[in-house]
A = this chain, B = another copy of it.
Amino acid sequence: MADLSTATPDKRTLILNAMVDLVAERGFHNAPISLLARRSGVSAGIVYHYFENKDDLIRALYKHIKAQWSAALLLNHPQHLPYPANLERLWQNAYRFYVDHPRATLFLEQYENSPYQVGGHEIGLDENLETVFAMVQAEIAQGNLADLPTDLLYEMTLGIAVRLAKRVIAGHLHLEDVLLGWIAAAVYRGVRP
């Protein structure tokens, strides 16, 4: 996947980008700083100039990717579309992000299933996620979505997107655009009141 960033590749970004790849390919363990340095084209020491330690680097990377992800959710402004197109576009945006950034996806899933995350350190809502949240609340108010706990709604909709994307990334599954449209619709059909 390489460069998630659109900024000039300063050293900090070079390191972050190399780290996603490394973790995706080899896992947290087996992603030694020495290799990270070689791949980033920097020295091992400088990593500790930009990050306190390896854990800090990994957490920073997580935040970095999560920010890209939440920005991707709002591509093509789903918030300006009528129901159900708005939620379906949201879903397809999420799915797209995962499929288009396979390394980031593998990183995210490793992170969220490791003791790093399990121990807490939740990431707060950023501005984009707040917009998404508002969209969902509005549809609940409209009677288009069941009034369920946020986490439950999340898992029954966007949660499916990651899992499908991982299957696609692994090559176990191929999803045509038409089918994707059907899935996006089906997902929200499942959570009508």
Contacts and interface: CB of A to CB of B under 8 A. Distances in A.
A55 to B, nearest CB: 12
Given A26-B115, A190-B186, A190-B189, A155 B164 contact: yes
- Highest count of chain B CB atoms <10 Å: which of A110, A118, A173, A190: A190
A156 B152 contact: no
Interface residues of A, number: 36
A175 B173 CA distance: 31
B155 A30 contact: no
A29 interface: yes
A186 B191 contact: yes
A186 B28 contact: no
A148 B109 CA distance: 25
A25 B115 CA distance: 7
A177 interface: no
B152 A118 contact: no
Interface of A: 25-30, 106, 109-110, 113-115, 118, 146, 148-149, 151-152, 155-156, 159-160, 163-164, 167, 170, 172-173, 175, 179, 183, 186-187, 189-191
